[in-house]
Structure 1
Amino acid sequence: MRDFIGIGVGPFNLGLACLTDAVDELDGVFLEARDELAWHPGMMLDDATLQVPFLADLVTMADPSSRWSFLCYLKETGNLYPFYIRESFYPLRREYDEYCRWAAEQLESVRFGQAVTRVDHDGSSYVVTTSTGEQYRGRRLVLGVGTKPRVPEALQGMGIHSADYLLHKHELQRLGSITIVGSGQSAAEIYRDLLQESPDHGYRLTWLTRSPRFFPMEYAKLTLEMTSPEYTSYFHDLPSTTRERLGREQRSLYKGISADLVDEIFDLHYRLRVQGDGPHTTLVTSTTVTGATRDPAGDGAYELACHHDETGEDFTLRSEGLVLATGYAAEVPSFLDPVRDRIRWDDRGRFDVARDYTVDHGNREIFVQNAEEHTHGLAAPDLGMGAYRNSVIIAALTGREVYPVEKQIAVQSFGVPR
């Protein structure tokens, strides 16, 4: 029987696999449904970069000396000096994906092609069954199954989600018009990608967002302190109604667009205008899509019912292509059904996550990764806080701080000062 079983191998559980690889007293295994690691393959645009520095890799913020760091990957692949000369803290997204593959393929604890179908508890341990018929037994679980594409009710069954953009890009470019719905980084990256190639294809491009403007992500240093242990603890202790309100208000702090990309889009518009190739595009803010229909018997175009939130006007937009950059949401996997009674739930059917990322009634058996945004705030999906969360989980698994867990790093106080 193993000490723990990790379910899902995205960056967060992969980071846990790296950090526990050096802990002799822990015996864990990580199960991944896919045959290989692929981090957002539908958005692997050539020039896209991470929105966090390379220090937010799998391990460095917990163990800067780890053999699984991004810098070690660069050294081993012969890219350390080119990265140094490039003088940018922000790796290419494709580069980060290759780094994660490099780590996953070398870790003996990672098992690919093992889709979990059921989790039971036999009285002494968790029994995890996979699609291959194999069973794994462990005292504890670490759930890192990731998030799923989110589609608003009004657009269910319509268009393609940004998660699958590159799979459909050439198909989209054969159409006469394309509409992108969304307000974050993915929407902006897809818009830029399609805009810069629009002169070669001649399609008309529309970008709709509910936001009152195209918000750049706030990167002021005191704001970045909100991804800190102190703020996470402060947020966790707030009433749930307050957390829900703050979650809505803070979205622009971590779901906005990088300021550089906003400027690039404007500069691209200007260049196309000077070249005489534009603008064949419309950007519309403060707009909610309230419904959508499609007539497959005709040209297959979408009819989008829209409402302008500031003027109060309703209007209709017709588009042959539709891309939904509407984000992702955590879901509770059905394989947990047999052990639901061992898990704490909030009044909305979500994990009731304790400060140490446990969700079981005893606060010592089941941990979650990136399923706690509603309880821990904007740090939950942040790659830079993944190593911190894993340090907390490892401390709970071993009963000691294998990797020092920071308690106080911010210069500001959250809540009433003591």
Structure 2
Amino acid sequence: MESREPEILDVVGVGFGPSNLSLAVALEESPDPVTSAFFERQPSLGWHRGMLLPSAKMQVSFLKDLATFRNPASNFSFISYLHDVGRLTRFVNNQDFFPTRREFHDYLEWAESKLTQPVTYNSEVTAIGPAPAAGPGAADRVRVTVRDAAGDSRQVDARNVVISTGLVPRMPVGLEPDEFVWHSSQFLHNFRRRNSGELKRVAVVGGGQSAAEIVRFLYDSLPDAKVSAIVPSYGYSIADDTPFANQVFDPGAVDSYYHGSQRSKDAVWHYHKNTNYSVVDDEVIRGLYERAYEEDFSKGDRLEFLNLARVVDVKRVGSETRITVHSLVSEESYDLDVDVLVCATGYDPMDPAEILGELDAYCVHDTQGRHRVCRDYRLVTTPELDCGIYLQGGTEHTHGLASSLLSNIAVRSGEIAHSIAARRSGAHEKGINE
């Protein structure tokens, strides 16, 4: 550990995916000078690299980029990116609001390359705690301990910390990922390590967008393999992307949700969860059905859908992976031998307590044990701690469906940047907006 006094910054960002990248852009464009540093444990910027399938498209408009909804004139917009790389005219001629995920990832890397805000990769935040107080009163900054790839540690003090460590991959109960059981977040990485000729039978469990896209990809990429889709519902459910429903992702909807009653919050989740969770775009559903129809016409058996089914056990038998599938139709179980099982079973929200460590003791929780969060995404803290702890994710219970999604990323980051600048100038008193 270095013995010199840690440097003091206005803000430290923990994690550097799209959310904190958007925050860095907002800080870059802010009229208020703010000192910052961002730390990311990955070796480079990466956003769902394991799911950058060639044909996979974004599920939000390109206008919901890192900056446009906050600043339409931003030099960090998707339009600026297209102009800079010489593809604006062709993109317009393509007449599509939804770029591929691969193109959007390229845009994220382009935006990161334009930043002057310092970002350090291969650096994991291992501890956050109150910095030793310079005098009496509440601690006004935190001490962040960062370990690099060589195992060396250093400390940075910050008046504010923004936590954005991303979603956590979820596996079916009792299953762990290994060489033959993959979570969709690692799909492409694992697929490229295998000789495609080795894969003669693959099963994909899940009923959402990722599951359907992986089934389509495997069917198209492995002409000699059989693909089994294990779907928990009777079939894939369509994502509601109609205009009125999409208003639930509008920036103004965050205010309605935050200040609404618990009854109204429950209603939003009940009526509009199908805008994003466990649903599939119409184009993907229809494409898979067309493939299944062609298989039926050709008397083929390369694509099968096991509906109303669950994976209840997986074990290795010889050179194969044996899946035990339980049918909700017959209430019976049967075995299915495959080379690989892909679990496209979604993600759990970020748990701030895991990274907060001892700092969590200074955070106020509600009656259900969840963190209390101000409207500006700042955790409510006890009087002993007077620095800002902000969350980008893990606030679905206070801020609604878009809390961890790209839909509101530019406005959310702008609000956090504004709050940090206001606190720096002393205009933002502790407790406001609680």
**Scaled by the length of structure 2, what TM-score is found?**
0.84
Task: State which of 91, 95, 103 in structure 2 corresponds to 1:87.
Answer: 95
- Per the TM alignment, residue 104 of structure 1 is displaced from its structure 2 partner at its CA by 1.4
Distance 1:331 1:32, change over 3 A: same
CA distance in 2, matches of 1:242, 1:124: 36
For 1:283, the equivalent position in structure 2 comes to: 305
Distance 1:250 1:286, change over 3 A: farther
CA distance 1:217–1:115, change in 2 (3 Å): same
Contact 2:365–2:372 (CA under 8 A) maintained in structure 1:
yes
Quickly say closer, same or farther: Cα 1:312–1:365, change in 2 above 3 A: farther
Deviation at 1:352, TM superposition (A): 3.0
Which residue does the alignment assign to 2:428?
Answer: none
Give the one of 9, 13, 20 matched to 1:6.
Answer: 13
Q: Secondary structure at the match of 2:126?
A: strand
Paired with 1:214 and 1:221, the residues of 2 have a C-alpha distance of 21
CA offsets per residue over residues 53-94 of structure 1, 9 Å max, x none?
A: 110110011001111111111111111122122221111111
Deviation at 1:120, TM superposition (A): 1.6
- What secondary structure, in the 3-state scheme, does the structure 2 residue paired with 1:49 have? coil
What is the rounded CA distance, in whole Å, between the counterparts of 2:158 and 2:35 in structure 1? 9
- 1:26-41 correspondence to structure 2 within 5 Å: 26-41=34-49
Contact 2:183–2:344 under 8 Å retained in 1: yes
For 1:386, give the aligned amino acid: I
Contact 1:7 1:144 in 2 (8 A): yes
Of 390, 395, 405, which residue of structure 2 is paired with 1:382? 405
Superposition deviation, residue 124 in structure 1: 3.0
**CA displacement 1:249-282 (0-9 Å, x = unmatched):** 64322121111111111223344555x4734222
* Cα displacement string for residues 358-413 of structure 1 (whole angstroms, at most 9, x for unaligned residues): 1232696111112212332211133121111112212212239xxxxxxxxxxxxx
Q: Deviations over 1:157-213 (max 9, x none)?
A: 5611001111222538423321111111100100000112342x2x22111122343
1:142 counterpart SS class: strand
Q: Which residue of 1 aligns with 2:390?
A: 367
Q: What is the CA–CA distance in structure 2 between the aligned matches of 1:242 and 1:75, rounded to whole Å?
A: 43
Q: 2:165 aligns with which of 134, 145, 151?
A: 145
Query: For 1:328-371, what per-residue CA distance to the aligned partner results, in whole angstroms no more than 9, with x for missing partners?
Result: 11233634212111223345554333332112326961111122
Q: 1:277 to 1:62 in 2, by over 3 A?
A: farther
On the 8 A contact 1:269/1:278 being kept in 2, the answer is no
Q: Which amino acid aligns with 1:31?
A: F
Output the CA distance in 1 between the equivalents of 2:299 and 2:86: 41
- Alpha carbons of structure 1 residues 381 and 312: separation in structure 2 relative to 1, 3 Å: farther
List alignment gaps of at least 5 residues for structure 2: 1-7, 132-138, 424-434
Alignment of 1:35-50 (within 5 A): 35-50=43-58
Higher mean C-alpha displacement, 370-379 vs 339-348:
339-348
Matched residue, 2:343: 324
Number of the residue aligned with 1:409: none
Q: Which residue of the partner structure matches residue 411 of structure 1?
A: none
- CA distance in 2: counterparts of 1:277 and 1:195, whole angstroms: 16
For the residue of structure 1 that corresponds to 2:400, the secondary structure is: helix
Matched with 2:3 is none
Q: Which amino acid aligns with 1:116?
A: V
Which of 312, 315, 335 pairs up with 2:333? 315
* 1:115 aligned partner: 124
CA, structure 1 residues 137+143, in 2 after alignment: closer, same or farther (shift >3 Å)?
same
Residues 224-243 of structure 1: matches in 2 within 5 Å?
Answer: 224-238=246-260, 243=265
- Separation in 1, partners of 2:209, 2:71: 29
1:86-113 deviations in whole A, cap 9, x for unaligned?
Answer: 2211111111111111121231222222
Provide the residue aligned with 2:217 in structure 1: 193
Report if the CA contact (8 A) 2:292-2:303 is conserved.
no
CA contact (8 A) 1:55 1:384 kept: no
Could you tell me which residue of structure 2 aligns to residue 410 of structure 1? none
* Alignment deviations for residues 1-34 of structure 1 (CA, whole Å, 9 cap, x no partner): 2211111111111001011102242222211111
- Who is 2:322 aligned against? 302
Task: State the match for 2:106 in structure 1.
Answer: 98
Q: Does 1:251 align with 2:251?
A: no
2:416 is matched with which residue: 388, 393, 399? 393
Aligned residue pairs: how many?
Answer: 393
Structure 1 stretches of 5 or more lacking a match? 401-418
Deviates more, 1:340-349 or 1:78-87: 340-349
- Partner SS state of residue 404, structure 2: coil
Q: Secondary structure at the match of 1:75?
A: helix
**How far apart in 2 are the matches of 1:64 and 1:206?**
45
Query: Is the Cα–Cα contact under 8 Å of residues 208 and 280 in structure 2 kept in the other structure?
Result: yes
Rounded Cα–Cα distance in structure 1 between residues aligned with 2:169 and 2:195: 19
Asked whether 1:222 is paired with 2:231, we answer: no
Equivalent position of 1:404 in the other structure: none
Question: Which residue identity does 1:207 align to in structure 2?
Answer: A
What residue identity is the alignment partner of 1:29?
A
Cα distance in 2 for residues equivalent to 1:162 and 1:185? 11
**Structure 2 match to 1:128:** 144
Q: Give the 3 Å change call, closer, same or farther, for CA 287–233 of structure 1 in structure 2.
A: farther
Q: Is the 8 A contact 1:162 1:325 kept in 2?
A: yes
3-state SS, counterpart of residue 75 of structure 2: coil
1:5–1:138: 8 Å Cα contact kept in structure 2?
yes
- Counterpart in the other structure of 2:5: none
Equivalent-residue separation in structure 2 for 1:93 and 1:18 (angstroms): 20
1:21 alignment partner, one of 25, 28, 31: 28
Q: Partners of 1:280 and 1:181 in 2: how far apart?
A: 16
Q: TM-score when scaled to structure 1? A: 0.87
**RMSD across aligned positions (CA):** 2.4
Secondary structure at the counterpart of residue 249 of structure 2: coil
- Percent of paired sites with the same residue: 28
Going from structure 1 to structure 2, the CA distance change for 1:53 and 1:229 (only over 3 Å counts) comes to: closer
Q: CA deviation at 1:248?
A: 6.0
